[in-house]
Structure 1
């Protein structure tokens, strides 16, 4: 039997490379697997040999101990792979195809999937609508930071790249299609970004940089990125963004220095529930980003909120935050008639168009997020450096496809 190594969460601040079973076309019991999913057969699935799988800020929330993730949960929902086995119910995907895997697991059969709401599929997670690989409370589908991974409903979920050689040449860009590029794009689209827009993106991590890239692709006139991390702000400036240093204070005054007015047309939250306040000694204050976005977004505007928020946070700053209850200035949002869009990005709504933009050289997402390939064995170092604030998107290379 072919061996399979994977990156697993062990305890707060610690991940390890462990041996796991080679995937089968039946869900097995294991860390985080919902009992109702154990024994579920997957004749519609394929097994992928992983080409690239990325470390995500959402993974980092679990690794910090900020969720209820159990020990030995195999991580990884950003997956690109080559098909090595197909189940008997797979009709169109073939062995040898190289494909992007949307991080949302979707059946393609339920009402929500048919309405393109693939982030809240009704049939893949017994706990709640919506699922993802290698993530807490998402049904227990094994993560993709491994040599091999099972993908269910393959004909529906997989985005096949049209030319294998071309895909491998652009793989560092294409690997971003599984999550952060569509997620950033979704944030920009739902914030209403269009030709001539002024945009404020809170957060210069990979999703924030992907949102800024997307705002440029959508025709924004000015894209402003705010963060407390100087290196990440420098990365945003490297592809034409204006930046504001939140260590120097809140965004309104700094936005006014750039635009002449203290507001923007569109706001994007690319931070989520571990947000910090403003100033040199900023402490965690999870409602800060949402409240500041409501302050600086023009009346009648919209907020795209791809940043992750949770219903269970053991490390929350108070009892309310531990349950995902934040002190939002909703009155501000109501008074300004602001629109809000939250939740998982429905990746399949955007990934094909963004693939075409990559293949035809309309965007350089890997360069913009400073993508760097490392080995699977180096994953613990990648997690540690990312947690320390590295302005890098770490791409794991489990099987040697990446140069």
Structure 2
């Protein structure tokens, strides 16, 4: 095949649907590709026909111009697709298989992969541990917001759905397995959510709503979601969450009104480095706000799960320190309360099969809870714009018109 329609970042605030090269089993030079990866052969890979490929809040950081992403970078790390071609070294994955793709690329061979730390694989990014499709400084693996995408180390990376017809009937739910559902779940697991927990989730975007869903799945007694966006808070309330509008004041005071005490057992940061202040400061960006707030409201001995993205380079940051990822966090408070902090990429493979089983057996409705909304790939620029404006939706690109509803 000669062409491949894909969504590309074209500068701050601008994405375009362009025709790019059809993927092959050799990494070629292009926007964002690490020079050390150019010419890298991937006989262990497959070509996927994208069935569902989602717009993520992490993509929005790049599109807003808040990273060093180069123009022309093909976006997209949340991929679900059908195998249409296999490399010569692929043994178990077959043409026709419908699979979920973990957003973090891992080799399955290095020390970290063997320890289950697939978010920080040592072999896929020449610059640092960890990699992802279509993301700045992640090795230059081409993104999956496209009609077709190459997935390396396929026997290791791909989660094959056991029954294609059954999977297609729940494809919007299963499309969340590539990133936000495991990421939200990881945030809750690392925060210590268990039966009877009281949980505060900062952020009612798709990852925050996935974390809230996960908290209930893990047995939480009360899940409180905080945000500035009333539409997104209403979406959280639609499946049983309590909510607080952080523009109206300190979360601690509002939590006390809900629980009768100003602390929770567990805290999840689903906001990241573009956080805003609380109360009267809610119009001002203050990147350490959520971390400091969580240390204030999580009980002594509790934990903070931090799936929200923090970066080492932010050209649009509010000050020089934040431009290199240095934030004024109250570490002394966290130390005094013996808090545990868990950061970094979610190791998707640790959770995705179990969450797939929960979906297929009707134990969770993640697509409903995050308001998953399929759109044609040609509408990607509109989807990015609406999401950036605060739409309470999780946009799912449908490159081949295979998603019903």
Common fold: TM-score over 0.5? yes
Q: Look up the SS of the partner of 1:345 in the other structure.
A: coil
Partner of 2:52: 52
Partner of 2:132: 132
Matches within 5 A, 1:325-344: 325-344=326-345
Deviation at 1:392, TM superposition (A): 0.3
Deviation at 1:22, TM superposition (A): 0.3
Deviation at 1:280, TM superposition (A): 5.1
| CA distance in 2 between partners of 1:229 and 1:295 (Å) | 22
Partner of 1:259: 259
Partner of 1:238: 238
Deviation at 1:202, TM superposition (A): 0.2
In the alignment, structure 1 residue 78 sits paired with structure 2 residue 46: no
| CA distance in 2 between partners of 1:380 and 1:249 (Å) | 34
| CA distance in 2 between partners of 1:267 and 1:164 (Å) | 37
Partner of 1:201: 201
| CA distance in 1 between partners of 2:281 and 2:319 (Å) | 19
| CA distance in 2 between partners of 1:210 and 1:196 (Å) | 19
C-alpha deviations, 1:312-338, integer Å up to 9, x for none? 000000000000000000000000000
| CA distance in 1 between partners of 2:267 and 2:170 (Å) | 30
In the alignment, structure 1 residue 321 sits paired with structure 2 residue 319: no
| CA distance in 1 between partners of 2:402 and 2:127 (Å) | 36
| CA distance in 2 between partners of 1:103 and 1:138 (Å) | 11
In the alignment, structure 1 residue 28 sits paired with structure 2 residue 63: no
| CA distance in 1 between partners of 2:177 and 2:145 (Å) | 16
C-alpha deviations, 1:332-366, integer Å up to 9, x for none? 00000000000000000000000000000000000
C-alpha deviations, 1:101-123, integer Å up to 9, x for none? 00000000000000000000000
| CA distance in 2 between partners of 1:148 and 1:280 (Å) | 46
C-alpha deviations, 1:118-170, integer Å up to 9, x for none? 00000000010000000000000000000000000000000000000001000
| CA distance in 2 between partners of 1:193 and 1:106 (Å) | 27
Equivalenced residues, count: 403
Q: Look up the SS of the partner of 1:276 in the other structure.
A: coil
Partner of 1:114: 114
C-alpha deviations, 1:171-220, integer Å up to 9, x for none? 00000000000000000000000000000000000000000000000000
Q: Look up the SS of the partner of 2:304 in the other structure.
A: strand
Matches within 5 A, 1:95-244: 95-244=95-244
After TM superposition, which residue ranges in structure 1, 4 or more long, deviate above 6 angstroms? Answer: none
Deviation at 1:2, TM superposition (A): 4.2
Q: Look up the SS of the partner of 1:73 in the other structure.
A: coil
Q: Look up the SS of the partner of 1:226 in the other structure.
A: strand
Q: Look up the SS of the partner of 1:50 in the other structure.
A: strand
| CA distance in 2 between partners of 1:125 and 1:299 (Å) | 38
Structure 1 gaps, min length 5: none
Deviation at 1:279, TM superposition (A): 2.1
Deviation at 1:3, TM superposition (A): 2.3
Q: Look up the SS of the partner of 1:75 in the other structure.
A: coil
| CA distance in 1 between partners of 2:383 and 2:189 (Å) | 30
| CA distance in 2 between partners of 1:256 and 1:250 (Å) | 10
Q: Look up the SS of the partner of 1:119 in the other structure.
A: helix
Deviation at 1:281, TM superposition (A): 5.2
> For structure 1, which segment, 280-289 or 128-137, has the greater mean C-alpha deviation from structure 2 after superposition?
280-289
| CA distance in 1 between partners of 2:189 and 2:402 (Å) | 33
Q: Look up the SS of the partner of 1:32 in the other structure.
A: coil
| CA distance in 1 between partners of 2:245 and 2:297 (Å) | 15
